[in-house]
Amino acid sequence: MKIKVTVNAIPYEREIEEHMTLLRFLREGLGLTGTKEGCGAGECGACTVFFNGKTVNSCMVLAAEADGAVIETIEGEATEGMLSALQSSFEKHFAVQCGFCTAGMIMSARELIHHHPHPTAEEIKEGLEGNFCRCTGYEQIVEAILDVTGSFVAKEVLTYV
Amino acid sequence: MYDTLDRSQLKNVGKSAVRLDVKEKLTGEAVYVSDMVLPGMLYAQIKKSPHARARILSIDTSKAEALRGVRAVLTGSELDYRLGLYVVDKYLLAKGEVRHYGEAVAAVAAESLQIAREAVDLIEVTYEVLDPVLNHMDAMKEDAPLVHPDLGSYDYIKAVFTPIPGTNIANLTKLRKGDVEQGFADSAFVVEREYDNPSVQHVPMETHVSIVKWGSGDRVTIYTSAQSPFTVRNLFCRTFSLPFNKVRVIIPYVGGGFGGKAGIHIEPLTACLSKKAGGAPVKFQASREEEFSLLPCRSALTYRIKTGVSEEGKILAQKMEMYWDAGAYADYAVNVTRASGYSASGPYEIPNAWVDAYTVYTNKPYGTAYRGFGHVEFHWGIERHMDLVAKTIGMDPLEFRHLNALRPGSITLTGEKITSHSGDVLACLDAVAKAIGYGKKSKEEKLREKESGLRIGKGIAILQKAPAMPSNTATAAIVKMNGDGTVSVAVGLTDIGQGSTTALAQIVAERLDFRLDQVFVKVEKDTDSDPYDWQTVASKGLIMSGNACILACKDLLQKGYAVASHVLKACVDDLGHDSEAVFVRHDPESRISWPQIALGYAYPDGKAIGGPLIGIGSYIAQGLSNLDKETGQGKPALDWTFGAHGIICEVNPVTGEYTLRKIASAFDVGKVVNPQLLRGQIIGGMLQGLGTAMCEGYIYDGSGHLLNPSFTDNKIPTAKDLPFEVETIAVENAQVDGPYGARGVAEHPMISVAPALGNAIYQAVGADLSHMPIRAEDVWRALHNKQPIDNWITKTPVGSCRSTPVLGSHSPSHALEP
């Protein structure tokens, strides 16, 4: 079947197989490999993208459902090579280690900030609950989001003994 | 050795330099193997065993082969290759018998993933199901079925390991120090108990994935999500009898490893599919379910500890028996057993010690390296046990540790003398004790208890680990100067997220006295162009690759000075340099810029000298030795990193539910190279340790089927599992032979989190836990003195289910009631 879909403000018209997921369409159909597959079962959040302004696990959505939809992915987050404020805050706070969860994490963080412009640490943890990260332990991600939303209280990185 | 300077004088080391790889990762530009597609690439799928133990009677692949788009089908009968890191015991595809649920029995490569899946479904395997041996303690019994009846015929590394043919014992590591029976006889108290933990999964967010092309003339190219390019290459070449220089291993960005991507895994089978498909590149990526059962896990452990202490609370003797559940293949489990055997007491001085550590084959998915390499598992036992001993003799656990922990002058289990440069475990302990207000409750805490009905407990635990590696472990670094005076650094160490590229760039900038932005360390690895590194494991990367980088920088500077001394007509000893130029120290106007000599200097008349400036540094571990097979004595440790965790926990005394108010973690890292990277390692490891402590574990039914190979049924921590407060503490007693005094700390934050939690829960409500993970229902059961349910192999009692705390005494004067 044929679908028309707008991804990161670029309109596409593509022939797809009916069983193809949105995740596979983005990665294999459009070459947007920044969005990752961590489990393929809607559990880990690595494949999170915006679908008509709301985040979805793109492994749980069929590409056919995206016909006529507006999709946003990590590739649309930076502008002409300039990191977004959210990305810059992740950079500053070392909120990235292996990087495999990062795209999904940025997407979920953006949605969280949309609903809570000034979230508390607890609201951030709640908002990121669907995104697994095995490397960072989340704390520096929480700090990055607190900082970009204006409520980060700077403290010593380490206590030296 | 390596430039131990005052921290205040360092310009790059000790600063939170931004990660070199962060922009690529934040924008989605970073390319992982799972993102890669090669021209003409085929997709592989694997037919897996639904049984834990069965005889393969027949495999019919005819329907699969007839399916359009299928380009290669393989079964075990065609592949006579065996693989094994230490004991060569595993066929690429099962032959004759399957030994665990999820084991590969056939493989397909096809033009699409969909066709490959269909083809695998069309393969028909008939089995004669056999009774599996699932519990590693059962597998130790004399009449147990043998997982590997041919163990006696397998190759293995004889200098280090001891398999026992005719049993399920893949290795026995022994250690004997002093006279343990005399020690018990001299003891006023003897305390004995058994501790255990189930198998767990590493859960890298990127599952194992490889693309292999078996090209013409046996030129093989492997793209793989792995930790150790050279180990993949070397073991691959040994398996197929290929020269090392014909096989190229390329590792781009890696989506996490945690030990699960050490060694070699799916590369050889994928290569065989490529060969059979006429040399087309073949990609295999494990599904999340396959990550749990086709690929290896962390071994389960049953650990029995018997400790004798004096009247004053000094440990006099300790007998330690470890039973490691290897699963179906020995892989890393035999070396986990060895490394845990020589470190079995944790950071305590034990004058009389006796260790028997067994690696036991069972019909379950097999164990491999996992962050901590056995130390997470056995510290659970040791650090719960030390609290039990302290309680038994009526001493505070902190005081007990102060009395018995290693300190300068102490002799380790293997006979190594601890010095003032070895690191200070008690400084770590005291720091976390202070950070959590150990031993008392604040006014606020008392109020919280009163208002909520919850009970607050504070627990501590200490830890140690050295790199578990061969005595001749080696690495190298190349620092190349570019024509503009910047440098590009190549090392074989892989950055799987830990941040080693950034830390090494800081070390290079420091040693060269260059600006950090002049230094680049690439993430991608390539065995054809990068210098050798043994493996990215064991927390040895910073110290060994760091030292190799320092040596390469010295070499580069020396070569640069040699050219500059000609150009400037000055003695080499009179030269100095900064980030821009080499100059004559007493005449700084007389200078030559780095770009002018980077690729060779050309005089005004056109004549040239020098050539491209390339610094080379080779480093090898020194002074280490194999351990005596009977006594375990020798020198296994390049360096010890010590640490401690302190936890404040709030427990519901009715339901057993608990939350973590605070965790404080301290490590003697020698020298902090990058505070934010260190903090990331500490918090990330701590939370991974909490996963192990709170919820993770493989659950099997009585036939050996894995019941929870998914995130739905095998929970890992999310952001909501973070303790409310996290404090990260650095102790800096310089490692004399480390780069700027630094030592490794990648694995350590995961160790001893579980016992600190167990100790805190005990302190809060008196629930005395001997197996992990600690779920709310386990706390409830312990509170009500009910037998813990063994959920790890359902309907088959194992491990701590059978054991109750044994508080015995060999001393007539201090008999204790159980």
DSSP string, A78-142: SBTTBPPHHHHHHHHTT--SS-TTHHHHHHHHHHHHHH-SS--HHHHHHHTTT---SSS-SHHHH
Mean pLDDT score, B112-117: 97
| Nearest alpha carbon to residue B267 among B330, B217, B202, B222 | B222
pLDDT band at B788 (very low <50, low <70, confident <90, very high): low
**Site of tokens 């990660």:** B19
**Contact between B759 and B768 (Cβ < 8 Å):** no
State the pairing for strand pair B220-224/B104-110: unpaired
Mean pLDDT over B609-618 rounds to 98
State mean pLDDT over B415-441: 97
Size of interface A-B (CB pairs under 8 A): 197
Residues B374-391 have a mean pLDDT of 97
Cβ contacts of A38 on chain B, cutoff 8 Å: 205-206, 288
Whether residue A117 is preceded by a cis peptide bond, meaning omega within 30 degrees of 0, is no
Residue B9: the pLDDT is 86
Instruction: Kindly give, in sequence order, each residue whose CB lies less than 8 Å from that of residue B305, ignoring residues fewer than 6 positions away.
Output: B192, B193, B194, B195, B318, B319, B320, B321, B381, B382, B385
C-alpha span between B29 and B23 (Å, rounded): 8
Banded model confidence at residue B74, pLDDT cuts 50, 70, 90: very high
Model-level ipTM above the cut of 0.90: yes
Q: How close B495 gets to chain A, by Cα (Å)?
A: 8
In Å, how far is B256's CA from the nearest CA of chain A? 6
pLDDT of residue B408: 97
Determine the distance in angstroms separating the CA of B683 from the nearest CA of chain A, rounded to an integer: 5
**Is the dihedral angle over the CA atoms B239, B240, B243, B245 positive or is it negative?**
negative
Report whether B51 contacts B129 (CB < 8 A): yes
Task: Say if A46 is an interface residue toward chain B (CB within 8 Å).
Answer: yes
> Is residue B428 a contact partner of residue B667, using CB atoms and an 8 Å limit?
yes
The answer to whether A6 faces chain B, any CB pair under 8 Å, is: no
Quick check: B547 pLDDT over 70?
yes
d(CA B458, CA A2): 61
DSSP string, A42-91: SSS-TTEEEETTEEEEGGGSBGGGGTT-EEE-GGGTSBTTBPPHHHHHHH
Q: Is B351 on the interface with A (CB under 8 A)?
A: no
pTM over 0.90: yes
Chain A residues closer than 8 Å to B15 by CB: none
**With contacts defined as CB-CB under 8 Å, which chain B residues touch A77?**
26-28
How far apart CA B213 and CA B250 sit, in angstroms, is 12
Summarised one tens digit per residue, pLDDT across range B263-287 is 999 999 999 999 999 999 999 999 9
> Is the Cα dihedral B225, B229, B235, B240 positive or negative?
positive
**What's the pLDDT score for residue B285?**
98
Residue B795 confidence (pLDDT) above 70 = no
Chain B residues in contact with A106 by the CB 8 A cut-off are 26
The reported pLDDT for the residue numbered B793 is 65
**pLDDT higher than threshold 50 for residue B812:** no
For residue A150, the Cα-to-chain-centroid distance in whole angstroms is: 20
B8 touches A at CB < 8 Å = no
Interfacial B residues in 309-338 facing A (CB < 8 Å): none
- Searching chain B, which residue's CA lies closest to the CA of residue A135? B684
Q: Is A141 on the interface with B (CB under 8 A)?
A: yes
In angstroms, the separation between the Cα of residue A41 and the nearest Cα of chain B is 9
Q: Is B745 exposed, middle or buried (0-12, 13-18, 19+ CB in 10 A)?
A: buried
What pLDDT is stored for residue B790 in this prediction?
60
pLDDT interval class at B371 (50, 70, 90): very high
| Whole-number average pLDDT of chain B | 94
CB atoms within 10 A of CB B765: 23
Angle at the Cα of B264 from the Cα atoms of B263 and B270, rounded to 5 degrees: 170
- Would you place residue B801 in the very low, low, confident or very high pLDDT band (cuts 50, 70, 90)? very low
**pLDDT band with cut points at 50, 70 and 90 for residue B787:** confident
- Pairing between strand B247-251 and B282-285? unpaired
Confidence of residue B789 (pLDDT cuts 50, 70, 90): low
Going by C-alpha positions, the residue among A123, A111, A124, A2 that lies closest to residue A57 is A111
CB contact under 8 A, A134 and B204: yes
Question: Distance (Å, rounded) from C-alpha A136 to C-alpha B681?
Answer: 7
Contact B582, B568 (CB under 8 A): yes
What pLDDT, in 10s, does the model give residues B51-65?
A: 999 999 999 999 999
Q: In whole angstroms, what is the distance from residue B85 CA to residue B815 CA?
A: 48
CB contact under 8 A, A128 and B23: no
Angle at B687 between CA B686 and CA B693, to 5 degrees: 90
- pLDDT confidence bin for B816, thresholds 50/70/90: very low
Nearest-angstrom CA–CA distance, B463 and B347:
6
Report residue B762's pLDDT band, with 50, 70 and 90 as the boundaries: very high
Q: Which of A134, A97, A89 is nearest to B21 (CA)?
A: A97
The angle subtended at Cα B527 by Cα B525 and Cα B533, nearest 5°, is 80
Question: What average pLDDT score do residues B449-461 get?
Answer: 97
Mean pLDDT within B501-506 = 98
**Sequence-ordered list of residues with C-beta below 8 angstroms from that of B744, at least 6 positions apart, any chain:** B467, B538, B539, B540, B541, B542, B543, B639, B641
Choose the weakest-confidence range: A119-128, B127-136, B433-442, B772-781.
B772-781
Q: In Å, how far is B674's CA from the nearest CA of chain A? A: 10
What is the pLDDT at residue B785?
80
Percentage of chain B modeled with pLDDT above 70: 95
A114-133 residues touching B, CB cutoff 8 A:
124-126, 128-133
What pLDDT score was predicted for residue A138? 98
| CA atoms of B140 and B145, how far apart (whole Å) | 10
Task: Please indicate if any CB of chain B lies within 8 Å of the CB of A82.
Answer: no
DSSP B9: G
Calpha distance B351→B410 (Å, rounded): 9
